[in-house]
């Protein structure tokens, strides 16, 4: 297990998460919205308070401009190594079946690493953030199948931009909206996501026999609640990408 001061960066579409590695686990996890007005000031204040790193691991699915933005705020020099992770063919017990392994999102690969280390047997890894991602891994760690769809929040955004619903229902797309249309939008988008997870789980269990479902991401809590309504048992793993990165870091 590495004793070097190591930082972990999970750069998503909506947020940047920073953490320190200690005892093989991420600690001091802090998230910053890319749209935050004082983003640079807040990130710089955090990193100035941490011990200077010898190594910085970054997993990014964000736009290149966003990745460059945060890279410019990190301590630089010969003693601070910055490593951008890419999905490999095989690591930490996960075998990547993509024809071009680097095209599998690094966030998905690392989440599978984190879940595989905790699950007994086959598992389904569901990320619910800006996108809804679903990946199935066999008990031996082979990636079986993956899907990407809009998250419930993005489904609602698409309806707001592509329909005239808001013209006659001005509160329909706000969290405070409580009329029938607002409830129908919420129910429809979350039920669509839940149904996709349940269908995917049924499909995989036909192949594996059994497979546990693991959720992660900023919207995983509400999704877990929707699935619970149908009696679908799930596990939640907070900061799955960072936990996967911690394992990736120490895997030879």
Check residue 78 and give its pLDDT.
60
Tokens (6 digits) for 100: 């071009």
- Mean pLDDT confidence for 143-147: 94
- Whole-angstrom Cα distance, residue 219 to residue 99? 30
Q: Report domain extents, the chain.
A: 6-86, 119-236
Catalytic residue list contains 10: no
Q: Do domains 6-86 and 119-236 have the same CATH topology?
A: yes
- The pLDDT of residue 77 is 66
Read off the pLDDT of residues 96-132 as tens digits, 9 standing for 90 and up: 999 999 999 999 999 999 999 999 999 999 999 989 9
- Tokens at residue 35, please? 């749209």
42-82, pLDDT tens digit by residue?
999 999 999 999 999 999 999 999 999 999 999 876 667 78
What is the distance of C-alpha 185 from the center of its chain?
Answer: 24
Query: Kind of pairing, strands 143-150 and 123-128?
Result: unpaired
Whether the model pTM is above 0.75: yes
Query: What CATH number does the domain located at 119-236 have?
Result: 3.30.420.40
Instruction: State the pLDDT at residue 168.
Output: 72
Q: Give the pLDDT mean for 219-245.
A: 92
Segment 161-192, tens digit of pLDDT = 777 776 677 666 666 555 677 778 878 888 89
Which one of 38, 107, 135, 167 is the catalytic residue?
A: 107
172 exposure class (CB count in 10 Å sphere: 0-12, 13-18, 19+): buried
- Dihedral sign (CA 33, 34, 37, 42): positive
CATH superfamily name and code, 6-86 = ATPase, nucleotide binding domain (3.30.420.40)
Which neighbouring-strand residues pair with 33? 15
Amino acid 95: pLDDT: 97
């Amino acid at each position: 297990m590495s004793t070097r001061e190591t930082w972990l960066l999970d750069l998503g579409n909506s947020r940047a998460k920073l953490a320190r590695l200690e005892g093989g686990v991420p600690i001091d996890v802090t998230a910053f919205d890319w749209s935050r007005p004082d983003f640079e000031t807040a990130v710089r204040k955090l990193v100035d308070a941490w011990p200077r790193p010898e190594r910085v691991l970054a997993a990014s699915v964000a736009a290149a401009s966003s990745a460059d933005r945060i890279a410019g705020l990190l301590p630089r020099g010969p003693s601070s190594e910055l490593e951008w992770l890419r999905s490999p063919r095989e690591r930490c017990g996960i075998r990547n079946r993509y024809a071009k392994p680097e095209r599998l999102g690094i966030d998905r690969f690392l989440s599978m690493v984190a879940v595989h280390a905790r699950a007994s047997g086959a598992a389904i890894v569901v990320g619910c953030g800006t996108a809804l991602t679903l990946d199935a891994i066999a008990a031996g760690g082979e990636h079986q199948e993956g899907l990407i769809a809009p998250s419930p929040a993005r489904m609602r955004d698409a309806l707001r931009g592509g329909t005239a619903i808001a013209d006659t229902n001005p509160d329909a797309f706000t969290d405070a909206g409580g009329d029938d249309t607002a409830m129908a939008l919420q129910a429809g988008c979350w039920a669509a996501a839940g149904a996709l997870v349940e269908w995917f789980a049924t499909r995989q269990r036909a192949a594996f026999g059994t497979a546990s479902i693991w959720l992660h991401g900023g919207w995983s809590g509400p999704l877990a609640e929707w699935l619970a309504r149908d009696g679908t048992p799930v596990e939640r793993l907070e900061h799955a990408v960072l936990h996967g990165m911690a394992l990736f870091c120490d895997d030879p």
